[in-house]
């Protein structure tokens, strides 16, 4: 075997190794592996009424940490509640006010791997950080910047692995990035109707990989950005009306809460509609009313904050029969 033949064999071996190690994975803009469409979602548990001596009132933002703990902003009671993985209430903090440990209509929230909880305290125009024991740590006060009119009320919030904070600002039609010290870095997206532009953005959630989905409610779509804030694509433009939140399940399906439809839509990663629920979920006695958020629980079920009905709905995903 001559030298050129040996070199060709080596090159082919490296190509084969690269493909075996994932060299064929899709990148931004490329199609993903098809996922199985769910047959339905079925309500199996409802949480409503008294929790720590007060009835749930306008339950809003939801988050789940790696232990399965569920975090809920109970906006009407201006408090943050945690539930254990069995969905039993565990702790609460809050009360109306503007000081540390108080809230004024808390909204969406995010939990990072280090168990830091960041809450969009809408009425106080700030982002509040708490630790896993629900102790106040610090805040990003949006009205204390040099230009008090620089930001509107916060809505969606997300945390990166590097401690950066993404925030949606529906009043100013922007997605904002703060660095890991809480200083303004840049605008990731500004007002518009196409590409990476946004209108009335709401929740920001992980895309299940290393980027983020922004619920671009005013443009009736979900926009996707990589971890550097670069726009990659948009989903659901033909199926959604006013998407306010989303979550990604273990099979890569995207579950979207549409507040205009009072319904849940399931998409694949290419934006194909897999399921549309309608406002009356199977197993529920009342239709959804102004649903605000959705998360995947540690056992794979979905939890929806049915804000207008002052309740939390837990749904089992019914698989499609083979």
Model pLDDT for residues 121-137, shown as the tens digit of each residue? 999 999 999 998 899 99
Give me the pLDDT at residue 322, please.
53
Domain tally, the chain: 1
CATH number, domain of 297, equals: 2.120.10.30
Domain-embedded: residue 1: no
**Is 18 a member of any domain?**
no
Confidence of residue 21 (pLDDT cuts 50, 70, 90): very low
At 146 the pLDDT is 78
What distance lies between CA 260 and its chain's CA centroid? 18
What is the predicted pLDDT for the residue at 25?
38
Query: Could you tell me if residue 49 is inside a domain?
Result: yes
Q: Are 167 and 160 in contact (CB under 8 A)?
A: no
**pLDDT the model gives residue 68:** 94
Q: Indicate the helix (H) or strand (E) that contains 17.
A: helix 3-18
Sheet holding 106-111, edge to edge: 106-111, 117-121, 126-130, 136-141
List, as one string, the DSSP characters of 124-167: GTEEEEE-TT--EEEEEETTSSSSTTS------EEE-TTS-EEE
Domain residues for the domain of 256 are: 34-318
Q: Quick check: is 161 in a domain?
A: yes
How many CB atoms are closer than 10 A to CB 299? Answer: 11
Quote the pLDDT of residue 144: 83
Alpha helices in 243-290 (DSSP H): none
Tell me whether residue 11 is in a domain: no
Cβ-contact 39, 319 below 8 angstroms? yes
Tracing tokens 């925030």 back to the chain, one arrives at 167
Q: Report the alpha-carbon distance of residue 197 to residue 192 in Å, rounded.
A: 5
The strands making up 302-306's β-sheet, listed across from edge to edge, are: 40-48, 311-318, 302-306, 293-296
**Is the confidence at residue 4, as pLDDT, over 60?**
no
- pLDDT score at 148: 74
Q: What is the pLDDT of residues 183-193, one digit of tens each?
A: 999 999 999 99
**Does residue 12 form part of some domain?**
no
Q: What does the pLDDT average to over 224-229?
A: 96
Query: What average pLDDT does the structure give for the chain?
Result: 90
At residue 80, does pLDDT exceed 50? Answer: yes
Degrees (nearest 5) of the Cα angle 298, 303, 304? 160
- Mean pLDDT score, 295-310: 98
Q: What is the pLDDT, as a whole number, of residue 10?
A: 35
- Using CA atoms, how far apart are residues 300 and 267, in angstroms rounded to an integer? 17
Would residue 9 count as lying in a domain? no
- pLDDT tens-digit profile of 95-122? 999 999 999 999 999 999 767 999 999 9
207: pLDDT strictly greater than 90: yes
Q: How confident is the model at residue 35 (pLDDT cuts 50, 70, 90)?
A: confident
User: To the nearest whole percent, how much of the chain has pLDDT over 70?
Assistant: 89
Give the global pTM: 0.89
């Amino acid at each position: 075997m001559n030298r050129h033949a040996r070199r060709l064999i080596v090159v082919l071996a490296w190509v084969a190794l690269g493909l075996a190690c994932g060299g064929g994975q899709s990148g931004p803009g490329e199609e993903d592996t098809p996922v199985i469409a769910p047959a339905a979602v079925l309500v199996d548990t409802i949480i409503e009424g008294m929790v720590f001596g007060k009835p749930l009132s306008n339950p809003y933002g939801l988050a789940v940490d790696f232990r399965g703990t569920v975090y809920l902003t109970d906006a009407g009671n201006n408090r943050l509640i945690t539930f254990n993985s069995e969905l039993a209430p565990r702790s609460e903090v809050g009360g109306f006010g503007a000081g540390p440990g108080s809230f004024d209509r808390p909204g969406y929230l995010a939990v990072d791997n280090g168990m830091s909880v960041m809450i969009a305290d809408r009425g106080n125009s700030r982002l509040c950080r708490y630790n896993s024991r629900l102790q106040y740590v610090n805040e990003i006060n949006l009205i204390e910047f040099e230009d008090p009119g620089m930001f509107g009320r916060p809505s969606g919030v997300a945390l990166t692995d590097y401690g950066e904070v993404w925030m949606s600002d529906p009043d100013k039609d922007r997605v904002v990035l703060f660095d890991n010290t809480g200083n303004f870095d840049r605008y990731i997206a500004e007002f518009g109707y196409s590409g990476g532009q946004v209108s009335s953005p709401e929740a920001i959630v992980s895309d299940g990989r290393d980027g983020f989905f922004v619920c671009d409610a005013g443009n009736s779509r979900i926009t996707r950005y990589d971890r550097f804030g670069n726009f990659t694509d948009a989903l659901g433009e033909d199926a959604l009306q006013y998407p306010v939140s989303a979550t990604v399940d273990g099979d890569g399906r995207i579950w979207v809460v549409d507040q205009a439809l009072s319904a849940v839509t399931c998409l694949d990663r290419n934006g194909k509609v897999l399921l549309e629920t309608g406002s009356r979920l199977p197993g529920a006695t009342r239709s959804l009313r102004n649903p605000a958020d959705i998360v995947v629980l540690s056992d794979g079920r979905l939890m929806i904050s049915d804000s207008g009905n002052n309740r939390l709905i837990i749904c089992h995903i019914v698989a499609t029969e083979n």
